[in-house]
């Protein structure tokens, strides 16, 4: 199976799965979580998005990597399978925090096209603590081991919700080059936090630094779609798609359609 190839300018819509079993905010059954995620994915697909990404953002506060329990992987697999069966566009998986091998395994099991990895190169001090080890070496070996090389690994650089003090002497372009050198399939540039605007200058710097696709990962609105697409190959849209522009709310079809319309002007 070949990796998903960007064709023109890609729009990726976010499905933020409700809080999963065992997390502080968990209130719904897995069946209810699946139904909700499928409904939102269909709205995104019907609006004309090119891909959808499924993420466990409601699991905050997050635990990292090896502390993620099997119940998270099991629930995300249920959700991912149902979403994959309900829409015909490619699907990505992100498991917070640092559940990158978990995400590859889920994507491999359900036919996902890509994952999002926030700590691919360099260490970070994030709101969930010190992310001391870069993921690239172990993650790409794991992907090879399980035969999932068709699953793209899209990597944040200068990740949001994190201090950049450790890498303050490295430019964003330096970090993008490192991610490309270490085998990322795409790099993701963001603002400082979920919903915060991404700097056009940062996107341009990343695009000049690497030949792999550059995506924008936060703060996209209909007004910024055009300017961002002057440099970016893809836009990951989450907060704006939700009712009232708040990531915690349900996906709003009208807002989805506005983003798609803006991409076609």
CATH code at position 235 = 3.20.20.70
In a domain, 2, yes or no: no
Does residue 4 fall inside a structural domain? no
Q: What is the pLDDT of residues 64-103, one digit of tens each?
A: 988 999 999 999 999 999 999 999 999 999 999 999 999 9
> How many secondary structure helices (H) and strands (E) does the chain include?
8, 11
Kindly state the helix (H) or strand (E) to which residue 53 belongs, with its residue range. Answer: strand 51-55
pLDDT at 1: 64
* Tally of domains within the chain: 1
Q: Alpha carbon of 85 to those of 20, 45, 57, 88, 91: distances in Å?
A: 20, 12, 22, 8, 10
Is residue 1 in some structural domain? no
Q: What pLDDT shows up at residue 195?
A: 85
How many Cβ atoms from other residues are within 10 Å of residue 13's Cβ? 27
User: Does 164 map to a domain?
Assistant: yes
Asked if residues 231 and 210 have their Cβ atoms less than 8 Å apart, the reply is no
**What is the structure's pLDDT at 213?**
96
Cα–Cα distance, 40 to 43 (Å, whole number) = 5
DSSP designation for 242: B
Within a domain: 3? no
Per-residue pLDDT of the chain (265 residues; tens, 9 = 90+): 678 877 779 999 999 999 999 999 999 999 999 999 999 999 999 999 999 999 999 999 999 988 999 999 999 999 999 999 999 999 999 999 999 999 999 999 999 999 999 999 999 888 888 888 999 999 999 999 999 999 999 999 998 888 888 999 999 999 999 999 999 999 999 988 888 999 999 999 999 999 999 999 999 999 999 999 999 999 999 999 999 999 999 999 999 999 999 999 8
Q: What is the residue range of 39's domain?
A: 10-263
The answer to whether residue 227 is domain-embedded is: yes
Does residue 90 lie within any of the structural domains?
A: yes
pLDDT at 135: 95
Q: What is the pTM of this model?
A: 0.96
Whether cis (ω within 30° of 0) applies to the bond prior to 194 is no
């Amino acid at each position: 199976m070949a990796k998903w190839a960007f064709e023109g300018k890609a729009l990726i819509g976010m499905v933020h799965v409700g809080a999963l079993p065992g997390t502080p905010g968990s209130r719904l059954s897995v069946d209810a979580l699946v139904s909700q995620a499928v409904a939102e994915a269909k709205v995104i697909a019907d609006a004309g998005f090119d891909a959808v990404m499924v993420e466990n953002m409601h699991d905050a506060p997050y635990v990292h990597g090896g502390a993620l329990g099997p119940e998270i992987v099991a629930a995300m697999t249920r959700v991912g399978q149902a979403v994959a069966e309900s829409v015909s566009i490619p699907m990505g998986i992100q498991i917070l925090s640092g559940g990158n091998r978990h995400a590859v395994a889920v994507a491999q099991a359900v036919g996902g096209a890509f994952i999002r990895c926030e700590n691919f190169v360099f260490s970070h001090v994030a709101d969930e603590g010190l992310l001391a080890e870069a993921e690239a070496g172990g993650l790409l070996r794991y992907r090879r081991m399980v035969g999932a090389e068709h699953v793209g690994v899209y990597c944040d650089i200068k990740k949001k919700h994190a201090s950049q003090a450790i890498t303050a002497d490295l430019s964003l372009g330096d970090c993008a080059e490192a991610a490309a050198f270490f085998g990322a399939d795409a790099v993701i540039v963001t603002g400082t936090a979920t919903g915060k605007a991404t700097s056009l200058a940062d996107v341009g710097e990343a695009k000049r630094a690497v030949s792999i696709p550059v995506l924008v990962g936060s703060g996209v609105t209909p007004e910024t779609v055009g300017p961002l697409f002057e440099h970016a190959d893809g836009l990951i849209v989450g907060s704006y798609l939700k009712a009232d522009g708040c990531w915690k709310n349900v996906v709003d079809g009208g807002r989805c359609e506005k983003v798609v319309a803006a991409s076609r002007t």
